[in-house]
Structure 1
Amino acid sequence: MPTADALPGNRVAWLPDPARAVLLVHDMQEYFLDFYDRTQSPVPELLENIRALRNACDGAGVPVVYTAQPPQQSAQQRGLLQPWWGPGITARPDLAPIHADIAPRAQDTVLTKWRYSAFVSSDLRERMHALGRDQLLVCGIYAHIGCLMTVADAFMHDIQPFLVGDAVADFSADEHAQALDYVSRRCGVVLPHQACVEALAGAGAMPASLLALRSELAQIIELPIEHLAETDNPFHAGLDSIRLMSLLERWTGRGQQLGFVELAERGSVSEWWELIQSRRMAA
């Protein structure tokens, strides 16, 4: 696994923004990890750094999305992957689960993966648009195949992509470096996971839309977003005072003030949004 000082330089100075970002954990299924000696680098660092990224996203209200190939795929569904890679995961359906240490939670989204890019035959772009988010942080395997293609595809959809250089892995160090070099020169930003963690922690801001508010509340309550409607009371849905204080600390990171009591007195997500809008207008 490359160290932070070994990562390539970038052509642009983008940084992850918790109000705009989505974390994509790419193809971290047991089948793909089974090609490594899991006791050796880069696997321990890969898992540790992905966990750190996910924790930072949880703390910043950033949605987490996973890709996973289905355990059963017909020859037609595999298409041109078949002559390149054979039956793939269909040959070992018992290895289809995502690694237990970073397995998806109830509030996370799992997309069925059909081709190299996570955008192909999925609604990833539409989900991000609905949430008002236009940054994608990519980690997982393999760096020079699916991760690289997803980053390039995001760029071509006008989504700012970040390839987390020490939270991806590949067949070899050369292919790992090839992916990082291409992204940094052509279509995105390569950052170490710690820089992403610090950017997400240091850029708190109130949600930019009602959908973003629902997303952030669902994330901290640990619910799928579709289980938290605009008319729902966040406290009845599972929000407690400790989690609300965590949100308030994050939202006031740029001097935007909201009070615990004034939120607690409002009985729905939409009423919270009205307060946030009025406070932003006054500022």
Structure 2
Amino acid sequence: MPLPAIAPYPMPSSAVLPRNRVDWTVQPARAVLLVHDLQNHFLRPFTPDAAPLTELLDNVGRLTKHCRAIGLPVVYAAQPGGQTPAQRGLQQDFWGDGVPDDRDAEGIAAAVAPQHGDTLLTKWKYSAFIRTDLAEQMYDLGRDQLIIVGVYAHIGVQATACDAWMRDIQPFVVADAVADFSAADHIQALRWAARTCAAVTTTEALVQSIEGA
């Protein structure tokens, strides 16, 4: 099944965000920013120069820049192109061949590309923790909070947030720095995360929280 074409939709405003069950706040000394699957392959289904893609890239760019400036680690998770069926596993049944063996398709969007000092993980499954050393890197750094941005909210973002929670890592999903197949999928993912495993926040609230920490 190929990725669907994604019609423009507005980023959710703070007025429609779900209420969090937890009162967690991001503490820079405890947190890592994860940029999830922002590869050209996964962004091509969006309508160029339209919401939510424009806001997604603007907000992720703002957060990565801010985190780098204060020394908060920035980690990118990206899938390799040209995976074999054995490497794909059951993802093959749901999504087909995945990222093609093409440098541009594999690449992370130029507007939010990794910079010197960032970490790039090779990602294999929905969760960025599976077959990677993300958890070990966080434990080694003494960090137990994960800020998640990227695509797609109801698939990999949601799975990674839940996986973090099961490892006693506090996940934060940034509502206007993730995107999805539709507005309905986007909101559904935020509601599920807020109900079960994560704190849902916004780019502006997160920046202010970090600055005030």
The two structures have a TM-score, normalised by structure 2, of: 0.93
Counting only pairs closer than 5 Å after superposition, residues 102-121 of structure 1 correspond to structure 2 as: 102-121=112-131
The counterpart of 1:53, out of the listed 47, 63, 66, is: 63
AA matched with 2:82 = Q
Q: CA deviation at 1:90?
A: 2.2
Q: Which has the higher strand share?
A: 2
Give the whole-Å Cα distance in 2 for the aligned partners of 1:103 and 1:179.
25
1:189-210 Cα shifts (integer Å, max 9, x gaps): 000111111111111xxxxxxx
Query: Paired residue for 1:162?
Result: 172
- The answer to whether the 8 Å contact 1:65/1:110 transfers is yes
The counterpart of 2:135, out of the listed 119, 122, 125, is: 125
- The answer to whether the 8 Å contact 1:56/1:200 transfers is no
Cα distance change on mapping 1:195 and 1:161 into 2, 3 Å? same
Q: Which runs of 4+ in 1 moved over 2 A?
A: 90-94
Give the whole-Å Cα distance in 2 for the aligned partners of 1:49 and 1:110.
20
Give the whole-Å Cα distance in 2 for the aligned partners of 1:5 and 1:57.
26
Counting only pairs closer than 5 Å after superposition, residues 92-241 of structure 1 correspond to structure 2 as: 93-203=103-213
Query: Paired residue for 1:245?
Result: none
AA matched with 2:179 = A
The counterpart of 1:69, out of the listed 68, 75, 79, is: 79
The two structures have a TM-score, normalised by structure 1, of: 0.70
Give the whole-Å Cα distance in 2 for the aligned partners of 1:94 and 1:57.
26
Q: Report which structure shows greater RCO (CA 8 Å, sep ≥6).
A: 2
Q: Does 1:25 align with 2:31?
A: no
- The answer to whether the 8 Å contact 2:82/2:98 transfers is no
AA matched with 2:148 = V
SS of the residue corresponding to residue 116 of structure 1 reads coil
Q: Which has the higher helix share?
A: 1
Query: Paired residue for 1:265?
Result: none
Unaligned runs of 5+ in 2: 1-10
Structure exhibiting the larger radius of gyration computed from Cα positions: 1
Identity of aligned residues (%): 52
- The answer to whether the 8 Å contact 1:45/1:167 transfers is yes
1:61-91 Cα shifts (integer Å, max 9, x gaps): 1000001100121110000000110101126
Unaligned runs of 5+ in 1: 204-283
AA matched with 2:162 = A
